[in-house]
Structure 1
């Protein structure tokens, strides 16, 4: 078993940290310390601490008019920064696990690439099709499921975030484009309340160090600013033996108020430059008991809870540029590289006559890369079959030896994707302008709000994805294959260049534009609050995209003058015959809600909504776009996925001499029909037009219950979130036999239980997240039992504004698959996927 070595900071890495601290931006951050020490930050009131589910918090995300949760006919959750830190979330996916109704892949790496969905809506082909991640009311990217560009690539939680407010269903259909399921809004601190902090977090049983800092204050009574960010580096949560995590984020804003506080202008800036691991593909040992996978444990020779797919013998790959045919050496250890430079401007003012104008603007210059090895796990016998092929180690300590089942480190091989995709332009522009006015009527007050949203999202990418054979295990070596006559079939483990998944020499440059006028009315009459809204979207797609073509006669990739092995199987993008993209669609969304306040502590609501999600880049390379770039007749019916949702809910808060408690419950029903295209699935060559496992048009339906509760009893606090969702496939264009079945890995029950207790200067607590059993896959025959993961923390106040904390994620080192699973090819004892094992970190923070 691998032992983590003590972390030694190489000189060049110390220089990176020093340079960052010496930069003008971070210097500005810490320069406020001298002035800020004399004034303590404003603390949360005792009454706010008792409001354990933030019922008093004003809803500002995707809603018609700011008002408290008790008066809102929507399901909204606020997760404060302190709770996220106590939870010990290591990735953005884990941050979102604290939100009821949100389902996310907890194994996603710290670089992103999570699958995110919301109650009742599917994760069909990766990413977050129906969920939008926002920062301060505008999306980070327009589409959450772009190939190699998911929205969590561009979002990082740090000390600049005050709270994460999530609206599920409801008015998201009217106040956000392409996000009918949920809007998750990271709300920034503004510095109106003076204070800040600086802290360092060190992984105690994993190799990662992180420096966090933030500061905000008033420069004048009507002028204030906030700046914050982080720098981190190390191996990450799993053993990689390289600096797999390295980078920083810096965010800042400055606000100028005017018009007696009725107006303000706020400028934002954000710099994100980082590379971090993607989703870890690992494996466990298990057995089948009846139709249930059970008995999970670490496989001999490989710790699926801590090891990764990275290897020093597979650290790079020769890549053929799909557009130019040039040869470069590309890393396979950088994971997801993200660079983002964005500026934003927010304006608000109340003019004469009662009209209020709001405008939010952001421009982002984004680029990224995805460079990693994916595993397709199988036994050696399964790989070689009866073809007479043989296998030899290409490199590593056994280089040149024949590969046998006995000398494989973990008994497995992989014939998976060596991915090198470059996205030089994923930039975007957003603007949301609205005008509102409140009218006094005889029956109450009517808030009228009209607006126009405009967005431009660029998707410029080059895909170079090759198939590679390697030993699956820690520090696995590359493997070459030979035919029965001894001729090489591979080159350094590669079976070809840009040959994976039948796709994978691509060059695309497309742009998506959305224009959406919207109108909402909110009537408050006595104890009733009625709101309704409508949004009309015009969605345009323009550009070009080229697919693969085989290079006749092959290509001498390594320059040795001989074309053999993988060099006979080389693909490049057919740019000379690139396909056009030029179409426009229109659709209208609506949402209607009614809230009734039975008392000051009890309200009930109902809501009916219909929204749409344009498919964007996942519609490319399908048979539903014709040679002129327009949609085919059938393509017009599936280019936007409709989502219908019905909700009935209540919100209640109670107080006794001993207990304060809050309850929010929502019963929901959701239906959708979507075009589903997953490039990583295999084509069915017997069917025309890519029909088969890769492509389908599916309908889904779900009913369920969402419960969010909180209570305080003296020094004890408790939050319990519970989601029940009965989700089924309602229709399938190409696989009608699957109707009535459930997606593999989707549980009916999900929950989090978070107790905490204050003892003197210490606070101890835990979060238990779990789920009921799931089907192992979409066939709905085999199952995986439910499981839970416990994370714990201890915070201690040392005085003089210095605090320390110890966080343990997966306290009991649970060995379990994160979702569905199944035996890998040829094995009856090894399954794929695993929860990350126990990770322990310590933080020391100074607040001022």
Structure 2
């Protein structure tokens, strides 16, 4: 019954079409009031813009593409003032990015695609090559592998469409960053940036001709910042260098490129909040904790020593390492026309590490007195502990600061949070060979082969409970009972509850065939089919529970998860077909309709195979789209109505005590996304982007703890939108551009059970760009200027809505500003 909404959404798209056609007819005379030359150039560029992502023929005019794709130039990327790669997705309708974790570790949801964390339906590409063929592993999604800098020329973001057939077959969203290349004229720029959190950053890039038919580009960035949430140590510290070398050939060219990144980024998780008295209201600040700028991280917690083995084995870790990235990526892009055939080959190789070290919250805070009382009851109920204490029962205890400072007041709120340590050693190689030719008038046939080999070596220590004060820049706390029981030692009140050492390797081989038929000047039809095989081999350690020091009185490490020396293995091979069928019809030169159906798959990746003991199914996804595109001097409109249907989707949730909840279900959704812009007078543009959707779960087994059929898909708002006016003021010496963005995000549910409500919120960003001639830019931007409070995540470590009137959530960042000076030469 829910799919009946799709024809209604199609009607919306057709209504917009009719209105826009009428506006097109009525504004023929109005176009005599043409905008300034600079605006005319921008409109002309939009009309003629060519996109390569999702195109079978290596490039198609954006207006003629029979699928939804958003583009952003270097200038538009800067104007977005994105805090991370994932945060840039806020400019894309139909995508909701939770970028509040910092520079890495985002959760990204795609229109109608259910996902509980990370970004399983988002692929990030560099020059058309997937950075890592699997879009998501535990503690790693593709956006964490990329840092934006001034070497990026532009970005293209494809949703749905023909992506199920090409490259790695991503059915969700593909975010393709295109690097700059050298040209005949040498050019370069240097940009200095400062901002909130004592940010200090420099970007530089230079490109030009090296010799006849040889061209080069080199650039990168370095920066350090304390972050909007000051953990008392650098939140971001590092940089990268990118370079390319291009050789122009007769009827073609080849480009070799590389990028080296060495970056450290703090990772922010949930903070304590006071639950709202009325359902639908926002939680309020927890006493002593500012949810907009606060973080539990601190210098006292920064350097941690984790007990990981029974023979005194320890790991020394630095929380400043956070979710860092230390990788080298290299690739090649070859294009050549041979005897009427267009031949392209894109290949890339990635090697490096992506660690995670962060504080993950669990149970609600309580007073130190209440914590001690709970510890007394637990210790006295444990016969082994009582025996080790000589039969003495505890009657009380003391709490002291681990790093000095005396006793902790009984009224002080404290909480236990885990310091989770995950190390990942990554390698991947991808190659895509594609040939196409017009084999008959109007018929272009494309054939391709895709190969990927990718691996990861992981070492996990989850848990490592740490007792700390519930305040900004928390302090670790030790608790001892009066019968000798040590509840918290050196700040730790728990050891690792999940220890893992694993090795995984995946191989994907796919072949595809696509045909594009231009029936006449107005009508085009295309279709493609893909056959893919994935083979996965994995070896995982078997943990066991031990008392790390063989002392029952030190209860914090009595039940530690350690490696047993045993292993299990999983070997899995899957083979599946995918397809896409679409078509476009030109109502006018720059006004098009399109429709498309695709059927894609998401193969189970390493973590879902481990969690399901190798039984996780292949996810089957169908999408239906009807869209409309037009660009004129006074307006632009891109509108797409969609329906999605999922089968065999795995769900997994790690709770604060180490238990894991797994299940398999599906979902169904309908919606409409839009990118609209009007230019009513010279130098003024107002854009309005966003989406409305209604996506719900289905196929959960009866009594499932993971979710309930009919519940709304977690973490995705029914409605989200961005209104962005901008006004350019020409000057004799250059120009001044003013811009602002008002964003509204609707209510969401943090969990599949629909018990943790995340109320909607609204934010205001603004900026000014002063251009002095063609060489100097001065930019000032501010985000969340009204200091709005909003949540992007609830407590992912519990089932239910929380206890004790206190909840955990990950709020958006508070007010922040950034200023930059750019000099071009």
Q: Same fold (TM over 0.5)?
A: yes
Establish whether residue 454 from structure 1 lines up as the match of residue 451 from structure 2. Answer: yes
Counterpart mapping for 1:246-645 below 5 A:
246-259=237-250, 262-285=251-274, 287-289=276-278, 291-294=279-282, 297-321=284-308, 326-352=313-339, 354-380=340-366, 386=374, 388=376, 392-395=398-401, 399-404=405-410, 406=411, 408=412, 411=413, 413-423=414-424, 425-441=425-441, 445-465=442-462, 466-482=464-480, 485-499=483-497, 504-526=498-520, 527-551=522-546, 553-555=547-549, 564-575=554-565, 577-625=566-614, 635=615, 638-645=616-623
Q: Secondary structure at the match of 1:95?
A: helix
What TM-score results when the alignment is normalised by the length of structure 2? 0.87
Q: 1:784 to 1:541 in 2, by over 3 A?
A: closer
Aligned-pair CA distance for 1:543: 3.0
Counterpart mapping for 1:760-839 below 5 A:
760=730, 761-775=735-749, 777-780=751-754, 783-799=757-773, 801-818=775-792, 825-828=802-805, 832-839=809-816
Q: 1:505 to 1:44 in 2, by over 3 A?
A: farther
> Which one of the candidate residues 148, 159, 162 is aligned to 1:157?
148
Aligned-pair CA distance for 1:369: 1.2
Q: 1:45 to 1:511 in 2, by over 3 A?
A: farther
Establish whether residue 115 from structure 1 lines up as the match of residue 107 from structure 2. Answer: yes
What TM-score results when the alignment is normalised by the length of structure 1? 0.84
Counterpart mapping for 1:683-832 below 5 A:
694-712=661-679, 713-733=681-701, 735=703, 738-760=708-730, 761-775=735-749, 777-780=751-754, 783-799=757-773, 801-818=775-792, 825-828=802-805, 832=809
Establish whether residue 233 from structure 1 lines up as the match of residue 228 from structure 2. Answer: no
Question: Is 2:53–2:158's contact at 8 Å kept on the other side of the alignment?
Answer: yes
Q: 1:467 to 1:678 in 2, by over 3 A?
A: farther
- Aligned CA-pair RMSD: 2.6
Counterpart mapping for 1:640-655 below 5 A:
640-655=618-633
Question: Is 2:401–2:475's contact at 8 Å kept on the other side of the alignment?
Answer: yes
Aligned-pair CA distance for 1:611: 0.7
Q: Secondary structure at the match of 1:293?
A: coil
Q: Secondary structure at the match of 1:519?
A: strand
Q: In the alignment, what sits opposite 1:671?
A: 645
Alpha-carbon separation, structure 2, partners of 1:323 and 1:590: 53
Gaps of 5+ in 2: 1-35, 378-395
| TM-superposition CA deviations, 1:179-210 (whole Å, max 9, x none) | 1111110111112264221011001x322211
Question: Is 2:667–2:695's contact at 8 Å kept on the other side of the alignment?
Answer: yes
Establish whether residue 195 from structure 1 lines up as the match of residue 192 from structure 2. Answer: no
Aligned-pair CA distance for 1:776: 5.7
Aligned-pair CA distance for 1:104: 0.9
Alpha-carbon separation, structure 1, partners of 2:657 and 2:359: 21
Q: 1:572 to 1:157 in 2, by over 3 A?
A: same
The worse-fitting range, judged by mean Cα deviation, of 162-171 and 736-745 is 736-745
Q: In the alignment, what sits opposite 2:203?
A: 212
| TM-superposition CA deviations, 1:66-107 (whole Å, max 9, x none) | 211222210011012212211221122221111111111031
Q: In the alignment, what sits opposite 1:628?
A: none
Q: In the alignment, what sits opposite 2:52?
A: 60
Alpha-carbon separation, structure 2, partners of 1:590 and 1:421: 37
| TM-superposition CA deviations, 1:8-35 (whole Å, max 9, x none) | xxxxxxxxxxxxxxxxxxxxxxxxxxxx
Q: Secondary structure at the match of 1:333?
A: helix
Question: Is 1:393–1:477's contact at 8 Å kept on the other side of the alignment?
Answer: no
Aligned-pair CA distance for 1:681: 2.9
Q: In the alignment, what sits opposite 1:13?
A: none
> Which one of the candidate residues 82, 85, 95 is aligned to 1:89?
82
Question: Is 1:281–1:309's contact at 8 Å kept on the other side of the alignment?
Answer: no
Q: 1:386 to 1:269 in 2, by over 3 A?
A: closer
Q: Secondary structure at the match of 1:108?
A: coil
Q: In the alignment, what sits opposite 2:18?
A: none
Alpha-carbon separation, structure 1, partners of 2:806 and 2:815: 24
Aligned-pair CA distance for 1:480: 3.1
| TM-superposition CA deviations, 1:781-838 (whole Å, max 9, x none) | 6744422111111111234712211110111111222355799854426652211000
Alpha-carbon separation, structure 2, partners of 1:44 and 1:173: 40
Q: 1:491 to 1:386 in 2, by over 3 A?
A: closer
The worse-fitting range, judged by mean Cα deviation, of 732-741 and 612-621 is 732-741
Aligned-pair CA distance for 1:172: 0.8
Alpha-carbon separation, structure 2, partners of 1:496 and 1:830: 21
Alpha-carbon separation, structure 2, partners of 1:578 and 1:523: 54
Alpha-carbon separation, structure 2, partners of 1:764 and 1:351: 49
Q: 1:397 to 1:322 in 2, by over 3 A?
A: closer
Q: Secondary structure at the match of 1:104?
A: strand
Alpha-carbon separation, structure 1, partners of 2:537 and 2:71: 38
Alpha-carbon separation, structure 2, partners of 1:247 and 1:61: 30
Q: In the alignment, what sits opposite 2:823?
A: 846
Q: 1:403 to 1:457 in 2, by over 3 A?
A: farther
Alpha-carbon separation, structure 2, partners of 1:369 and 1:785: 32
Question: Is 1:643–1:670's contact at 8 Å kept on the other side of the alignment?
Answer: yes
Aligned-pair CA distance for 1:309: 2.1
Alpha-carbon separation, structure 2, partners of 1:505 and 1:44: 63
Q: 1:341 to 1:783 in 2, by over 3 A?
A: closer
Aligned-pair CA distance for 1:698: 1.5
